[in-house]
Amino acid sequence: METHILVIDDDKKFVKSLKKVLKVLGRVDTGYTVQDFYKLFSPHKYDIILVDLRLEKEYEGLELIRYIVEEDPSVPVIVITGYASVDSAIDAIHLGASLYLQKDKITFEEILVKIKDVLSSIQFKYKMSSLIEELEIIGEDPKIKDVIRLATLVANDGEATVLLHGETGTGKELIARFIHRTGKRKDGPFISVAIPALNKSTVVSELFGHEKGAFTGAMKKHVGYIEQAHKGILFLDEIGELDMETQVKLLRFLDSKIFRRMGGDRDLSVDVQIVAATNRDLKKLVEEGAFREDLYYRLKVFEIELPPLRERKGDIVRLANYFLTNLFQKNRTTAREFSEEVIDIFQSHTWPGNVRELKQVVESAALKAKLTGKTRITTGMLPEELKDGLKSKQIREGRGVEYMIARTELEYIQNALEKTNWKKNEAWKLLGYSSRFVLRRKVMGYFRKYPELADTFPKLRAKFIKEKS
């Protein structure tokens, strides 16, 4: 797609020469007066605009800059003039100009380079913005902006070991993926490992791999996660759960980037960046003797603290609106907005499950809105724990967010089935699921995880548990 450039300057000879140079970038429109500008300009038409500071009247270019910024703030403006002064340069930059260039101090080729730099910067910012939205790292709070800034810095480094610390649901894996997608290792693999999910008896094998015959049952060679991540990033989630024996092996690897598969007799070298994450206080674990001090300091070469949602009050509604808009665009809800009462509840809730909890609450309420055909989410669609402004017993026990969502979604599933006379082929569509099997998988999954919910929803239990497939 070609670049579309607008040049406004009353020096016709200069404009003609500049146009010849800029044609390599794409289409170039030119004008010599303010009137020409207004005939040519419209919002979102140009990728970059060059404006002379002095046209028919002194500083008339400043008025054009002001107008452009108001009508199309996304387009970069470069001021290029033969009548320069410090004051005019400051005024132009304050109004929103990206660059201020003097004709007598720069060649046409140098102008071309400057324009390329500005366009590259704009394209990079656009890609970054799109990626941030894709990964749902949404927010304007200075704390989350700092997280993105630090993540960008370490991504560009591509070597330093990173430790992400934050409560459950703050988005640690999303930041790890951001580091991968924006950094030097973006063309390599991203291997995510949840330490608590590893089998304690085979954790070393899963991380470092093993040779055939290394132990009973090792029928063939296995390439571990560390080796799989060669040239990329290995994300170790909940690193605080790693046992002491494996901590020693990981420390040795971090020091040398050399390891041996279990049962192997030769050293292997890999090029991998380690990003670890935890919701625990590793320093406290060190003091308690549950985590090696040398490994702790080796991991925190570059540490990023992710703020809890309760410390990002200004982002709560922004995130909620983003999640709701996505659901509406996917036809998973009829709701487009929240009532003022719901906004108040969102702002006052402490969000122990952070962004993950907010997303699940919005999704649950959105599904209920679809069942009733409502276009606005009201307090009646929220879990009781939020409406009361209190933490539930389950939240105090540390399992609240997942349990609350399970119970809420089962309630909506039952409502959908009742509304469709218990016809699953109709209910899953009403709920916005991808298939009938997703409906069954959700119900059975929640019942397995929380057996007491089968007693809470006897109709669902009778309908699903008796099924053979």
Q: Using pLDDT thresholds of 50, 70 and 90, give the confidence band for residue 86.
A: low
pLDDT band for position 441 (cuts 50, 70, 90): confident
Tell me, yes or no, whether 284 and 364 share the same domain. no
- HSE-up of 289 (CA within 13 Å, CB side)? 0
> Is residue 23 over pLDDT 80?
yes
What is the domain extent for residue 424? 310-464
Residue 168 DSSP SS3: coil
**319 and 195 in a common domain:** no
Residue among 327, 213, 331 nearest 264 (CA): 213
Do 99 and 171 fall within a single domain? Answer: no
* pLDDT surpassing 80 at residue 316: yes
Which of 310 and 340 is assigned the larger pLDDT? 310
B/e letters for 436-449, b = 16+ CB within 10 Å, e = fewer, are eeebbebbeebbee
User: Is 469 inside a domain boundary?
Assistant: no
135 in a structural domain: no
Domain final residue pick, 101, 126, 151: 126
Distance (Å, whole) CA 211 – CA 218: 7
pLDDT digits (tens, 9 = 90+) for 178-232: 999 999 999 999 999 999 999 888 899 999 999 998 888 888 999 999 999 999 9
Q: How many domains does the chain have?
A: 3
- Domain termination residue (choose one: 102, 126, 150): 126
Tell me, what's the pLDDT at 288? 96
pLDDT digits (tens, 9 = 90+) for 285-308: 999 999 999 999 999 999 999 999
pLDDT of residue 334: 95
One domain for residues 115 and 158: no
Q: How high does pLDDT run on average in the chain?
A: 89
Q: Give pLDDT, residue 394.
A: 44
Token pair 């140079």: residue: 21
The residue assigned the tokens 């140098």 is 110
CATH number for the domain that contains residue 377: 1.10.8.60
The pLDDT tens digits for 385-416 are: 787 653 444 444 445 667 777 888 898 898 88
Q: What are phi and psi of 31, to 5 degrees?
A: -150, 165
The C-alpha R_g of the chain, in whole angstroms, comes to: 29
Alpha-carbon gap, residue 389 to 417, rounded angstroms: 30
Same domain for 148 and 219: yes
pTM of the model: 0.67
- Calculate mean pLDDT across residues 337-353: 90
- Quickly list DSSP for 411-459: HHHHHHHHHTTT-HHHHHHHHT-S-HHHHHHHHHHHHHH-THHHHH-HH
Residue pair 195/236 in contact (Cβ under 8 Å)? The answer is: yes
Average pLDDT for 266-294: 96
The pLDDT, as a whole number, for residue 388 is 67
- 301 and 325 share one domain: no
Domain check: are 151 and 271 in the same one?
Answer: yes
pLDDT score of 429: 85
| Final residue of a structural domain among 305, 325, 360 | 305
241 and 226 inside one domain: yes
| Percentage of the chain lying above the pLDDT 70 cut | 94
pLDDT for 331: 93
**Mean pLDDT on 273-290:** 97
**Would you say 10 and 51 are in contact if contact means Cβ atoms under 8 Å apart?**
no
Tell whether 111 and 90 lie within a shared domain.
yes
pLDDT on residue 387: 72
Structural domain contains residue 131: no
**Beta-ladder partners of 237:** 194, 277
Number of H helices, E strands in the chain: 22, 14
Structure tokens that stand for 162 in this block: 């990173």
Asked if residue 282 belongs to a domain, the reply is: yes
Residue 25 belongs to domain with CATH number: 3.40.50.2300
DSSP letter at 217?
A: T
Output phi, psi for 338, to 5 deg: -110, 145
Residue 185 and residue 272: Cα distance in Å, rounded?
A: 9
The pLDDT of residue 135 is: 87
